[in-house]
């Protein structure tokens, strides 16, 4: 079974090295709402044929499965949804109990909840590439040390050749997809962004709140590209993102973790907003960079992220790790 850390690496796809490559899945929730009700769709999984379980965690109640839909590769993620306080009364009154053991004051039961309280959050990547399949396999991880020279000679050439497509990002920015999910948008082409829930958040409770701010600027790949000229953009996202979350979810800035990943899961600048206390995939110290720190670092040193040696984790099957090995950097 996958450990808790392995599960976090996978979810990020949020894998440690890519974490949150996750392309937006075509689920009912993402297809929008019609007349205030969730739209219905055909069961894309009716013909799903399982090939193997890539990884799973009994503790985290999540499983990653590789299979085929219409003879094309697919990856399906099954995750038990969290309990919600507002549904407890219905859960206790509407469920059936089967006694398994009773000893003095202790007893255990199998509780069968009604269908509407027993959902499984399901993410589908289809057609899936080999890279998607590998990403969810449990793998050992290695911490990589990347100098300025390493970035230009090893990382950047690999990124330009092998990074995942960004069409799903552009679909959001161009209002071709997920428009109903947008929490806030600043349309300014220079400092503007779109704020919407990350795929990992089911939006049914605030304990695991997770939103992503995607910049309208398309020429910023990652932390390495940031310079003082981007400070107005970063400050705008930082302030307006917090304001939008306060207005929509009544969650103050003091309860938010706002950060960037390096390396990111996809190479279009985006900022993560999660609830403080929620151990989101990729929030570990070797991958997450607080936006407040990024802003201060750029203010004190214009070339901070151009020249700084950065550390990040890569999984054993990551092609970029092979490049660092070939260069004698690991």
* Residues designated catalytic: 270
Cis link prior to 263 (omega < 30° from 0)?
A: yes
Reading phi first (left if > 0) and then psi (alpha if -120 to 50, else beta), residue 29 is in: alpha
For the record, the structure tokens of 44 come out as 């894309």
- In the block, which residue shows the tokens 């094309």? 72
Q: What is d(CA 2, CA 6) in angstroms, rounded to the nearest whole number?
A: 6
Residues 215 and 270 sit within 8 Å (Cβ to Cβ): yes
- In the block, which residue shows the tokens 């962004």? 193
For the record, the structure tokens of 145 come out as 């040390």
Residues 162 and 263 sit within 8 Å (Cβ to Cβ): no
- H helix and E strand count, the chain: 10, 16
Q: What is d(CA 281, CA 16) in angstroms, rounded to the nearest whole number?
A: 8
Q: What is d(CA 132, CA 73) in angstroms, rounded to the nearest whole number?
A: 10
Q: What is d(CA 82, CA 77) in angstroms, rounded to the nearest whole number?
A: 15
- 128-147 per-residue burial string, b: 16 or more CB within 10 A, e: under 16: beeebbbbbbbbebbebebe
């Amino acid at each position: 079974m996958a450990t808790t850390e392995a599960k976090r690496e996978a979810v990020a796809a949020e894998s440690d090295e890519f974490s949150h490559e996750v392309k937006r899945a075509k689920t009912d929730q993402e297809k929008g709402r019609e007349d205030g009700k969730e739209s219905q769709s055909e069961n894309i999984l009716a013909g799903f044929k399982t090939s193997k379980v890539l990884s799973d965690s009994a503790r985290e109640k999540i499983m990653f499965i590789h299979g085929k839909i219409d003879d094309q590769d697919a990856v399906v993620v099954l995750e038990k949804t969290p309990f919600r306080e507002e549904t407890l009364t219905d859960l206790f009154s509407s469920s059936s109990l089967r006694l398994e053991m009773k000893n003095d004051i202790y007893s255990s039961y199998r509780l069968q909840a009604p269908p509407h309280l027993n959902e499984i959050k399901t993410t589908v990547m289809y057609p899936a590439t080999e890279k998607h399949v590998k990403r969810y396999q449990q793998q050992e991880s290695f911490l990589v040390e990347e100098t300025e020279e390493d970035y230009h000679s090893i990382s950047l050439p690999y990124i330009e050749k092998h990074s995942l497509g960004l069409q799903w990002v552009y679909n959001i920015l161009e209002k071709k997809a997920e428009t109903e999910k947008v929490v806030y948008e600043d349309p300014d082409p220079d400092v503007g962004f779109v704020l919407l829930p990350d795929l990992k958040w089911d939006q049914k409770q605030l304990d695991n709140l997770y939103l992503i701010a995607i910049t309208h600027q398309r020429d910023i790949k990652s932390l390495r590209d940031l310079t003082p000229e981007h400070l107005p953009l970063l400050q705008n996202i930082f302030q307006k993102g917090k304001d939008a979350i306060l207005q929509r979810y009544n969650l103050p800035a003091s309860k938010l973790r706002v950060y960037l990943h390096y390396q990111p899961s996809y190479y279009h600048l985006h900022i993560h907003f999660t609830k403080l206390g929620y151990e989101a995939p990729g929030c570990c110290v070797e991958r997450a960079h607080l936006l407040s720190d990024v802003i201060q670092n750029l203010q004190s040193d214009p070339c901070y992220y151009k020249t700084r040696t950065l550390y990040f984790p890569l999984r054993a099957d990551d092609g970029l790790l092979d490049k660092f090995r070939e260069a004698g950097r690991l």
